[in-house]
């Protein structure tokens, strides 16, 4: 049986002792929390105990602080039932007491039977209030759990391959604001004994792995003040969305959690796992981009080994540290990736030829092998970014295996070119079958018709009735280039056509493609074509009549 903690406040010692005896005579369900002489002392007592009382029996007239003022101040911070006892039979006191939430108002001297009757009624009220509070708390916990389950289901859906996020509407509004990190946990090469595992064995291990992740993420953020959600991805991979504590060291927090996860998996299962973590994102509509970044980063375990954490900044440093003389891949490698993403097969193969011409300058066979491996990962990541997690049919492990068996550069190039052709074919097939391609195609057509206008992302997205952020994501996914790059490329192509007209001034060319500053257009044009507008016009000019005649 729960006791009812009672605080007695009266400036007369005899009255205090009498009330204390009356409360004790009400039975075992009553407990005296304190007996004090004035309101200020009682208020300090509540502050010290955190307001751990159920009932306050207080006199009205007291020195230092009267009972009405004490109850008014105390109820700003704590919840309890006040009962006033006074020798003043005054309606104003009674009305003020009731306004402050008094459950009753008794006059001195207190009648024992009347007091017991009132205390019994008060006990029923307190018990009923406790029951309502418990039920309300249970409902709040249940609602919080349901909300978290709904959030996790939404995240699982958004990271599934081939998902149309436009069907979810403004789903990101259900999550708190902050800088998120997406974490990808993938099992490394499975041990030989796992070949004998049954379906039930695997399900048990996957269930255990999911529980390990949930417990570690919850306990980690319970100590740091952040939040986290985790869910199962494919057959042997898991995802976690992390919201580190605001103002803390987010990168250190992520690294600590990743280390704990990898250690727990090694300790409690026969597996090891590699973890990839994306850059921070403030807009959850960019979650698909973070997913693709994680999938690209996790591929580096084929070069660096498993049971590791792969962060975006370390992926770049790892390439630089392997060959200090060359800090990054040649520029042709980045152009090749862009061509693959955009489905331009001939340009991609041309970049491949340039890449291998530059490789001939290397003297170390090991450095050549590393460069080709990194290029292969770049191509594979581009295919994954456009086709989804399981959309690209060429396993990276098989492609790397073929590269390791190659005996010379020509054979390496044949393997790379074959991978490029397959990637471009699958990207084109994915985009043709994509249900969400229509808005992007409509946007492209509208851009081409309005090259002379103010082509902001918001105006373009509004034309196809899409959220600007989500539109940018869809556009990059389906075309392989950003909206800005597409607009600039279309304007440069139109500029080439206009420059072939000899009577058209350069200022008119600029105005027809949406540029007001001729100097800015000239610099941009040269950056795209390698020629100034004047040089391009001279080269494109038709030959004079009669020139070259016999």
Give the closest residue to 425 by CA, choosing from 334, 350, 348. Answer: 348
Mean pLDDT of 182-205: 84
CA 123, chain centre distance (Å): 49
Which of the four pLDDT bands, split at 50, 70 and 90, describes residue 182? Answer: very high
Report the Cα–Cα distance between both ends of the chain, in Å, rounded. 118
Superfamily of domain 171-322: Reverse transcriptase/Diguanylate cyclase domain (3.30.70.270)
For residues 388 and 392, what is the distance between their CA atoms, to the nearest angstrom?
Answer: 7
pLDDT of residue 84: 83
For residues 328 and 333, what is the distance between their CA atoms, to the nearest angstrom?
Answer: 10
**DSSP label of 71:** H
Mean pLDDT of 144-160: 79
For residues 190 and 179, what is the distance between their CA atoms, to the nearest angstrom?
Answer: 34
Residue 318: pLDDT over 60: no
Scanning 330-481, the segments in alpha helix (DSSP H) are 331-341, 345-359, 365-387, 396-405, 409-433, 437-449, 457-463, 468-479
pLDDT of residue 240: 92
pLDDT of residue 140: 65
334-388 tens-digit pLDDT: 888 888 877 888 888 998 898 888 888 776 666 777 788 888 888 887 777 666 5
Residue that wins the pLDDT comparison between 351 and 550:
351
Mean pLDDT of 313-330: 53
pLDDT of residue 545: 46
Backbone angles phi, psi at 107, to 5 degrees: -100, 145
Residue 292: pLDDT over 70: yes
Which of the four pLDDT bands, split at 50, 70 and 90, describes residue 323? Answer: very low
Q: Which fold has domain 4-133?
A: Rossmann fold (3.40.50)
pLDDT of residue 183: 93
Residue 463: pLDDT over 80: yes
Which of the four pLDDT bands, split at 50, 70 and 90, describes residue 199? Answer: confident
pLDDT of residue 128: 85
Residue that wins the pLDDT comparison between 300 and 253:
253
Give the closest residue to 291 by CA, choosing from 214, 237, 255. Answer: 237
Range from 153-167, 180-194, 283-297 carrying the lowest mean pLDDT: 153-167
Which of the four pLDDT bands, split at 50, 70 and 90, describes residue 45? Answer: very high
32-41 tens-digit pLDDT: 999 998 889 9
pLDDT of residue 263: 92
**DSSP label of 110:** P
Roughly what angle, to the nearest 10 degrees, separates helices 483-499 and 518-529?
A: 100
pLDDT of residue 389: 43
Mean pLDDT of 228-243: 86
Cis? peptide before 415, omega within 30° of 0: no
Residue 139: pLDDT over 80: no
The pairing of beta strand 181-187 with beta strand 273-277: antiparallel
Residue that wins the pLDDT comparison between 521 and 234:
521
Which of the four pLDDT bands, split at 50, 70 and 90, describes residue 44? Answer: very high
Residue that wins the pLDDT comparison between 548 and 367:
367
| DSSP secondary structure of 441-503 | HHHHHHHHHTTTS---HHHHHHHTT--HHHHHHHHHHHHSS-HHHHHHHHHHHHHHHHHT-TT
| DSSP secondary structure of 252-295 | HHHHHHHHHHHHHHHHHSS--EEEEEPPPBS-GGGHHHHHHHHH
Give the closest residue to 300 by CA, choosing from 288, 290, 312. Answer: 312
Mean per-residue pLDDT of the chain: 80
Residue 250: pLDDT over 80: yes
Mean pLDDT of 522-526: 89
For residues 415 and 73, what is the distance between their CA atoms, to the nearest angstrom?
Answer: 80
Mean pLDDT of 146-165: 76
Mean pLDDT of 132-155: 76
pLDDT of residue 7: 93
381-422 tens-digit pLDDT: 777 766 654 456 777 777 777 776 665 677 788 888 988 998
For residues 374 and 390, what is the distance between their CA atoms, to the nearest angstrom?
Answer: 20
For residues 240 and 238, what is the distance between their CA atoms, to the nearest angstrom?
Answer: 7
What percentage of the chain has pLDDT greater than the value 70? Answer: 84
CA distances to 233, 300, 334 from 377, in Å: 22, 8, 12
| DSSP reduced 3-state for 61 | coil
CA torsion 389→393→394→397, rounded to 10°? 50
Give the closest residue to 35 by CA, choosing from 69, 62, 10, 1. Answer: 10
Indicate the burial class of 538 (C-beta count within 10 angstroms; 0-12, 13-18, 19 or more): exposed
From start to end of 99-154, where are the E strands?
104-107
The pairing of beta strand 30-36 with beta strand 4-9: parallel
Mean pLDDT of 205-222: 87
> From 2.40.30.110, 1.10.10.60, 1.10.260.40, 3.30.420.40, which CATH number describes the 437-540 domain?
1.10.10.60
Domain parsing of the chain, residue ranges: 4-133, 171-322, 325-433, 437-540
- Beta carbons within 10 angstroms of residue 364's beta carbon: 11
Mean pLDDT of 529-542: 84
Which of the four pLDDT bands, split at 50, 70 and 90, describes residue 427? Answer: confident
The answer to whether 6 touches 23, Cβ cutoff 8 Å, is yes
What percentage of the chain has pLDDT greater than the value 90? Answer: 10
pLDDT of residue 239: 92
Mean pLDDT of 517-539: 88
For residues 503 and 179, what is the distance between their CA atoms, to the nearest angstrom?
Answer: 54
- Segment (H or E) for 161: none
């Amino acid at each position: 049986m729960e006791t009812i903690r009672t605080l007695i406040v009266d400036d007369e010692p005899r009255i205090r002792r009498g009330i204390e005896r009356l409360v004790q005579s009400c039975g075992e369900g009553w407990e005296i929390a304190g007996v004090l002489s004035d309101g200020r002392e009682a208020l300090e007592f509540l502050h010290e105990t955190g307001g751990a009382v159920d009932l306050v029996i207080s006199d009205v007239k007291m020195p230092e602080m009267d009972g009405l003022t004490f109850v008014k101040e105390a109820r700003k911070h704590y919840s309890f039932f006040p009962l006033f006892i006074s020798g003043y039979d005054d309606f104003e006191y009674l009305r003020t007491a009731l306004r402050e939430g008094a459950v009753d108002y008794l006059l001195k001297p207190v009648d024992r039977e009347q007091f017991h009757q009132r205390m019994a009624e008060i006990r029923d009220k307190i018990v009923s209030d406790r029951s309502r509070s418990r039920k309300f708390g249970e409902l709040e916990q249940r609602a919080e759990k349901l909300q978290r389950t709904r959030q996790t289901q939404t995240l699982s859906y958004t990271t599934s391959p081939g998902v149309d996020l436009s069907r979810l509407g403004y789903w990101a509004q259900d999550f708190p604001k902050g800088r998120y990190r997406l974490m990808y946990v993938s099992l490394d090469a499975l041990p030989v004994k796992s070949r004998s595992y049954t379906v039930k064995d695997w399900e048990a291990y996957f269930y255990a792995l999911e529980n390990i992740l949930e417990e570690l993420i919850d306990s980690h953020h319970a100590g740091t003040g952040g939040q986290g959600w985790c869910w199962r991805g494919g057959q042997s991979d898991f995802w976690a969305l992390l919201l580190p504590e605001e103002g803390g060291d987010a990168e250190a927090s992520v690294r600590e959690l990743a280390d704990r996860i990898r250690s727990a998996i090694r300790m409690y299962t026969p597996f090891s796992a590699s973890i990839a973590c994306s850059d921070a994102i403030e807009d959850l509509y960019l979650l698909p981009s973070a997913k693709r970044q994680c999938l690209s980063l996790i591929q580096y375990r084929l070069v660096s080994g498993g049971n590791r954490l792969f962060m975006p900044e370390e992926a770049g440093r790892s390439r630089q540290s392997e060959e200090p003389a060359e800090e990054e891949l040649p520029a042709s490698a980045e152009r090749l990736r862009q061509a693959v993403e955009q489905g331009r097969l001939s340009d991609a193969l041309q970049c491949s030829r340039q890449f291998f011409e530059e490789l001939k300058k290397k003297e170390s066979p090991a450095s050549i092998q590393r460069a080709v491996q990194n290029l292969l990962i770049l191509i594979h990541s581009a295919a994954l970014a456009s086709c989804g997690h399981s959309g690209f049919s060429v396993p990276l492990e098989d492609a790397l295996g073929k590269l390791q068996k190659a005996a010379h550069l020509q054979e390496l190039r044949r393997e790379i070119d074959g991978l490029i052709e397959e990637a471009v074919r699958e990207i084109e097939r994915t985009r043709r079958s994509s249900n969400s391609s229509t808005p992007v195609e409509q946007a492209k057509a509208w851009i081409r018709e309005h090259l002379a206008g103010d082509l902001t992302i918001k105006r373009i997205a509004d034309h196809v009735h899409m959220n600007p952020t989500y539109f940018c994501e869809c556009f990059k996914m389906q075309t392989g280039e950003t909206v800005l790059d597409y607009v600039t490329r279309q304007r440069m192509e139109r500029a080439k056509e206009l420059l072939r007209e000899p009577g058209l001034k350069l200022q008119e060319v600029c105005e027809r493609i949406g540029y007001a500053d001729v100097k800015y257009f000239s610099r941009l044009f040269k950056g795209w074509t390698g020629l100034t507008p004047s040089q391009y016009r001279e080269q494109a000019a038709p030959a004079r009549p009669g020139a070259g005649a016999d």
